[in-house]
Every structure is written in structure tokens, then in C-alpha cells.
């Protein structure tokens, strides 16, 4: 039986190898990407919408990868941005992308979110495209609750099983790339985030967008 540590290592290796190609999926200048993967851009816009509810939010991006959303929230007025990610290759892309911002505004942390030393608390915690690969989701939500500032929000995306996309995703990730993949239901999300004061779930064609306020 695979352990949580095994799963984390497989995810780390997957994103080490696929860093550049994965980053290109979020290139908003390419109309084809927007047409083929509207969900990626919908969740980005949702995150920016929530960020605007705070004047100068401190933002923690869990599994933030190459820092594309970090660039946008910083341009929008975030006072600080922390990207914690397993992949050194993804964080190198983030370092290059975010180099133009003032020293002290950006912190990049390579490591497992559950074990990494993450300073401070945050008005906004992002987990976009993160829970897709998480074996022990409750532990990660508990860590987010520890790091959220009073009145702060978690914005996260979750895939759901569909017979049109589910089998293809399982084949591509688990069989071909040896990377675990998980699916969620609305009822499961409400249970997962039951410790938050308010939970909003928006359904999409192949997943959910969630905002949980502490």
C-alpha cells in the first residue's frame, strides 16, 4: 500500500519534470489555452475577485508553482506573497517571474505544506489545482485553518468525477505519469470545510470553486 510520503514524492517528481509545460497552460495571452481550459482562468478570476475584498492582503499560495497568480495579486495590491511548493523547478520559474517586485514582498518555500515552516498569518490562502493531488485533504485543511488570519478566506479548486474526463485524467496522471489524482463531491467539500464560519461552493463543468471564510 502506498503511503502519504510515497504520494508526496510522486507528485514532487511529476512537477519537477513537467514544470515548464504545466506553467504554459496558464498563459492567458494564448487564446487557444483559454478556449480549451476555461476552468483554469475561471478559478484565477475568482481568486482575484476574493483578493479585492481585502485592502492589502497577505497571500499564501499553497502549491503556487510558477507564481502566475502571485504576479497578479501583487500587481493588484497584495502586501506580501508566499508560494510554498514541492517542486524546485516550479519555484525557479516563480523566482524569475516575481523578480521585479520589492525585496521582502515575495517568499518562496520549497517543501511539503504540512511540514514547511511558514511564517505569519494570511488574509487569503490559495489552493488552486492543489487538492487534485492531495491524499490526506483533511490534514491540509487543518493547516490552512492554523494559518488563516481572522476574517480571512481560503480559495480552492477541486476536480469532480465525470465520465467524459475522469477516465482520461486517471490514465494520464496515475498510469502514464505515476502521479496520484483525486476527485471530490459538493457534500464532501462541505464536510471537509465544516470548521469554517462560511463556505461557498460554485459548481463548474468538471469541478468546484470554493471560498471558506474563517
- Residues 4-213, CATH architecture: 3-Layer(aba) Sandwich (3.40)
What are the pLDDT digits (tens) for 89-102?
Answer: 889 999 999 999 98
pLDDT at residue 182 in the model: 84
State yes or no: pLDDT of 2 exceeds 70.
no
pLDDT at residue 22 in the model: 47
Tell me whether residue 12 is exposed, middle or buried, using C-beta atoms within 10 angstroms of its C-beta: 0 to 12, 13 to 18, 19 or more. buried
pLDDT at residue 133 in the model: 83
- Give the residue from 119, 101, 126 showing the smallest Cα distance to 211: 126
What is the distance between the alpha carbons of residues 109 and 91, in angstroms, rounded to a whole number? 8
What are the pLDDT digits (tens) for 23-57?
Answer: 555 555 544 444 445 557 888 999 999 999 999 99
Spell out the domain ranges in the chain: 4-213
Percent of the chain with pLDDT over 90: 58
What are the pLDDT digits (tens) for 92-150?
Answer: 999 999 999 987 899 999 999 999 999 999 999 999 989 988 889 999 999 999 999 99
- Non-local (6+) Cβ contacts of 83 within 8 A are 61, 64, 65, 67, 70, 91, 94, 106, 107, 108, 109
pLDDT at residue 27 in the model: 53
Greater model confidence, 142 or 180: 142
Q: Is the whole-model pTM more than 0.85?
A: no
Amino acid at each position: 500500500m502506498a503511503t502519504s510520503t510515497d504520494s508526496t514524492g510522486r507528485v514532487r517528481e511529476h512537477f519537477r519534470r513537467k514544470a515548464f509545460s504545466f506553467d504554459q497552460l496558464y498563459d492567458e495571452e494564448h487564446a487557444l489555452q483559454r478556449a480549451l481550459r476555461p476552468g483554469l482562468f475561471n478559478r484565477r478570476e475568482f481568486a482575484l475577485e476574493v483578493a479585492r475584498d481585502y485592502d492589502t492582503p497577505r497571500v499564501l499560495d499553497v502549491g503556487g508553482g510558477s507564481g502566475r497568480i502571485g504576479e497578479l495579486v501583487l500587481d493588484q495590491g497584495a502586501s506580501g506573497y508566499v508560494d510554498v511548493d514541492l517542486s524546485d523547478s516550479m519555484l525557479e520559474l516563480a523566482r524569475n517571474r516575481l523578480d521585479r517586485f520589492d525585496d521582502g514582498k515575495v517568499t518562496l518555500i520549497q517543501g511539503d505544506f504540512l511540514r514547511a515552516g511558514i511564517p505569519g498569518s494570511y488574509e487569503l490562502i490559495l489552493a488552486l489545482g492543489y487538492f487534485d493531488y492531495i491524499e490526506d485533504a483533511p490534514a491540509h485543511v487543518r493547516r490552512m485553518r492554523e494559518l488563516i488570519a481572522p476574517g480571512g478566506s481560503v480559495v480552492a479548486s477541486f476536480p469532480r468525477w465525470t465520465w467524459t474526463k475522469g477516465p482520461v485524467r486517471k490514465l494520464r496522471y496515475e498510469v502514464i505519469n505515476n502521479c496520484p489524482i483525486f476527485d471530490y463531491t459538493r457534500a464532501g467539500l462541505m464536510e471537509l470545510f465544516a470548521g469554517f464560519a462560511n463556505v461557498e461552493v460554485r459548481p463548474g463543468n468538471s469541478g468546484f470553486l470554493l471560498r471558506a471564510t474563517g
